[in-house]
Amino acid sequence: MVSRKKFDLGPMLKPKSVAVIGASHDSEKVGHIILQNYINGGYSGRLYAVNKDASSKILGIDVYTSIMKIKDRIDLAVIAIPAQMVPEALEECGKAKVKTAVVVSGGFSEVGETELQNEIVRIADRYGIAMLGPNCLGVMDPRSRVDTLFLPTYKLSKAQIGGVSFVAQSGAVGSTVLDLISGEGFGLSKFFSYGNAAQVDEVDILEYLMNDDETKVIVMYIEGIKRGKEFIEIAKKITKIKPVIVLKAGKTAAGASAAHSHTASLAGSYEAHDAVFRQFGFVIANDISELIYYSKIFAYESEPSGGRVAIITNGGGTGVLTADAVSSTKHLTLAEFSGATKKILTASMPKLVNIRNPLDLAGDADSKRYGDAIAAVAGDQNTDIIAVIVLFQTPGADSEVAAELIKIKQTANKPMIVISIGSEYTQMHKIMMESGGVPVFDSPLSAATALEGLLDYGNYKKAVA
């Protein structure tokens, strides 16, 4: 039976000492890759290799035949050995007073070996080890340089340090999202891939992240929830403090069946999960793309006071598409500029600019025109959100425009996002703007979707305050 004690996950994310059990001399083996990742990542704690073959060093590190032979107290043991050998290794971890363990090995309940999984839970419980997994990628913390992922670094770009923590039951989805995050301006705080959740599960992880000052936004991919009542209790608390974005798999019977064979997860009724998420203010993503859009908006922006959107563009057609996207949402609307704002804009804009929302600055709009327009609209009490479209293909749009938007963003008192569509030249400026704190979206629809999620969460917080 799974223990319901509270687990201290701190030593798993911030360990002073790590032992890789199954560290291999073979560079193709999982244990070798994990050890290599710790070295490549610059982990500054004490690192140990455990392998039955201790005849030579692995990657310059001394090898021990058992974790019990290491004189140091180990905070985290990463176990990457065949499933049948895990109970013995975990027993030795207990005798060595290891605090936490990540079992990346597969071959447990997901393939019908339920008793084997129950055995390692009993061992972990008996010794008070907080155990993540089995059948998982484990954890990553860019600040402490902890990385139990067995993915070669040349195949996975690593995200910069930030405030978004990602929790994934699936290692495959988790690694995909990590790779995508690395191409975005916001960074990663923590990563959990918990697999079969034999002991430490999503409730334990959420409770840890709720109290983690380094985590500003929580993003989840889940296939099933083991402890529904406890999940609801933590959900009531956590969304009052920080946003939780969730992508739930298993919407269909086929998906639920696939989830069970993947992580031995009982996906349950999607409708029931959806109802719980909505009741407690979770932001619900429908696919991985939306997961990224929501992560970005919450990483960069605070909740708006309302849903009135002002659109400023240098391309009329894209402005129209953005107006359509905003109007197609349930809670966003187009702002109606005040008379005072219209006067300011009339005085500062060329005569060819039609003073209305969307505000089309024309294809020759430069940094000054953007700056004047945004300043006028930002001061309008009828505007809650500013959506700026920059098409860098036009003559006036260049690095000065990007720099102006960064400057404005630093003192903005309202959410301001940018929509910019294009290839290399555009992407260069996207990186520039996001490094300066400006969230950039690649389509009107993605921007509108993200903004509505931000607004809805803000309204939820007001309602429960």
Greater model confidence, 42 or 266: 42
Determine the Cα–Cα distance for residues 23 and 54; give it in Å rounded to an integer.
10
> Mind listing the pLDDT tens digit for each residue in 151-177?
877 777 778 899 999 999 888 899 999
Question: How far are the Cα atoms of 202, 246, 438 from residue 442, in angstroms, in the given order?
Answer: 32, 21, 13
Q: pLDDT at residue 253 above 70?
A: no
Residue 265: predicted pLDDT: 45
pLDDT at 128: 96
Q: Which amino acid type is present at position 180?
A: L
Q: What is the sign of the dihedral through the CA atoms of 428, 431, 436 and 440?
A: positive
Average pLDDT over residues 411-433: 96
The proportion of the chain whose per-residue pLDDT surpasses 70, expressed as a percent, equals 95
Q: Give 17's strand partners.
A: 46
- What pLDDT is recorded for position 267? 46
CA distances from 129 to 90, 99, 133, 137 (A): 9, 5, 12, 18
Task: Output the average pLDDT for the chain.
Answer: 93
| pLDDT band of 429, cuts 50, 70, 90 | very high
For residue 259, what pLDDT is reported?
A: 45
Q: State the SS3 of 355-394.
A: CCCCEECCCCCCHHHHHHHHHHHHCCCCCCEEEEECCCCC
pLDDT at 399 exceeding the cut of 50: yes
The yes-or-no verdict on residue 252 having pLDDT over 80 is: no
> Hunting for tokens 């340090």 — which residue is that?
161
Of the chain, the percentage scoring pLDDT greater than 90 comes to 85
Residues 188-210 have pLDDT tens digits of 999 999 999 999 999 999 999 99
Delimit the CATH 3.40.50.261 region(s) of the chain.
10-298, 302-464
Instruction: Give the CATH H-level superfamily of domain 302-464.
Output: Succinyl-CoA synthetase domains (3.40.50.261)
The pLDDT value recorded for residue 426 is: 97
Is the entire prediction scored with pTM above 0.75? yes
What pLDDT, on the 0 to 100 scale, is given for residue 1? 38
In this predicted structure, the answer to whether residue 138 has a pLDDT above a threshold of 80 is yes
For residue 255, the model assigns a pLDDT of 46
Dump pLDDT digits (tens) for 35-78: 999 999 999 999 999 999 999 999 999 999 999 999 999 999 99
52, with CB counted inside 10 A (0-12, 13-18, 19+), is exposed
**Stronger pLDDT, 9 or 268, i.e. the higher one:** 9
For residue 272, the model assigns a pLDDT of 86
Instruction: Give which of 289, 273, 266 is closest to 232, Cα–Cα.
Output: 273
CATH superfamily of 10-298: Succinyl-CoA synthetase domains (3.40.50.261)
Query: Average pLDDT for residues 104-132, to the nearest whole number?
Result: 97
